[in-house]
Amino acid sequence: MDLGSVEEKVAALDLGRGFDLIYDLLDAYGFAKSSLKRLQTGSLNKATGANEVIWLKNVYWRFIPEDEQGSDVHLLIDAAASDARILKQRPRFLIVSDGVQLVARDMKTSDTLDVPLERLRANVEFFLPWAGIEKAQLESLHYADVKAAEKMARLYDEILKLNAVSGSEDLHALNVFFTRLLFCFFAEDTGIFDKAKFTNAVASLTRADGGDVHSLLEQIFMVLDTTPEERGDVQSYLRGFGYVNGRLFSDWLPVPEFSAKARKIILECGELDWSEINPGLPRLWLTVVLAFRLLRVRSPAPPPSRIRSTNHRRGRSSSRERCKRFPARDPPGDRCHRRGWLGPDAGHRRCRPRRHRHGHA
């Protein structure tokens, strides 16, 4: 089973399943459903206590129900680590949870995990030995880089479902868009932005269906290319994004439409620690994978001048019109920056989008 499949299944787990969560977790790591059925019915479960599962060479699981709340998960896992009844079955992992916190111990490496249950999906790699992938293999694979690349690939595939992309100009726009995303993820984990500034903005300022994510990203990208002197009375949710001196955000390029799933992947990417990821590898990966997939999905129709979203064809305003009303939320005043609305103190120049590198407005 590949890493991406495991991550998707763990992310989809119902964490409110209580005692039965262990069966779903084992299923996510690729254990045979027939074996899990036998474990659930008792023929493979060597446990004698209530709310326990002991599976030979695989796992010891202890769930603390509501009527036992107050039991210390740390004391329970320490006790399990010295319990002869459990050690006889040689479980790879010991896991204890009360439905809020989860603690685990790898009995082979002595590594431990102690996280809120809701953070389980961010620690998928801890249990990867169940899928036949040991920690030493992860280190040789540069797991953090692989994990980031897989998530970005999933995001690309989801975006492609909503946006028609063909031709060199579309590829350029999409490549720049993903490069800007990578910058924002690195920036919030390396001190350029406040910690989680970008991810929190997407989480708190956009709808769950993802329909307005493109609008927020357009605003953020514009403000990153605007000096403090030109910003004027910028909206409060944009003030934490500093000016990025360089060409990364200098050209206005369309941001593709998002779905609920694409928005969710953005938030999952934000949960990664990008300070551990080699900045050069995701950028190299993007150049290769986007070119390859563009060839795979190219349409025989004439290439559009920019990314065409299905919503655009239903009447979404042009890029010049969207620029005129930056940001999307109704701002006070009636003046705008040369590439978008930035408030009443931004000067008297008319809003004129900077021309594309290829000559398109």
| Per-residue model confidence (pLDDT) at position 309 | 45
65: closest CA among 6, 16, 26, 114?
Answer: 16
What pLDDT score was predicted for residue 35?
A: 96
Residue 259, SS3?
A: coil
For residue range 168-195, what is the model confidence (pLDDT) as tens digits? Answer: 888 888 889 998 999 999 999 999 998 9
Q: What pLDDT, on the 0 to 100 scale, is given for residue 277? A: 81
Asked if 138 and 125 count as a contact pair (C-beta separation under 8 A), the reply is: yes
Q: What is the pLDDT of residues 33-92, one digit of tens each?
A: 999 999 999 899 999 888 999 999 999 999 999 888 778 999 999 999 999 999 999 999
Going by C-beta distance under 8 Å and a sequence separation of 6 or more, which residues neighbour residue 293? 156, 157, 160
DSSP, collapsed to helix, strand or coil, labels residue 82 as coil
pLDDT for residue 282: 52
Q: Is 71 helix (H, G, I), strand (E, B) or coil?
A: strand
Sheet bearing 112-116, strands edge to edge: 52-55, 59-63, 93-97, 101-106, 112-116
Determine contact, residues 30/131, Cβ cutoff 8 Å.
Answer: yes
Which long-range contacts (C-beta less than 8 Å, at least 24 apart) are formed by 118-126? 118/15, 120/10, 120/13, 120/15, 121/7, 121/10, 121/11, 121/13, 121/268, 121/271, 122/271, 122/272, 124/3, 124/6, 124/7, 124/10
- The residue to which tokens 């779903």 are assigned: 24
List, for the chain, all residue ranges whose pLDDT scores fall below the cut of 50. Answer: 291, 294-361
C-alpha dihedral over 115, 118, 121, 126, to 10 degrees? Answer: 20
DSSP 19: G
In whole angstroms, what is the distance from residue 4 CA to residue 256 CA?
23
Please confirm whether the linkage preceding 327 is cis (ω < 30° from 0). yes
Task: Specify the pLDDT at position 56.
Answer: 97
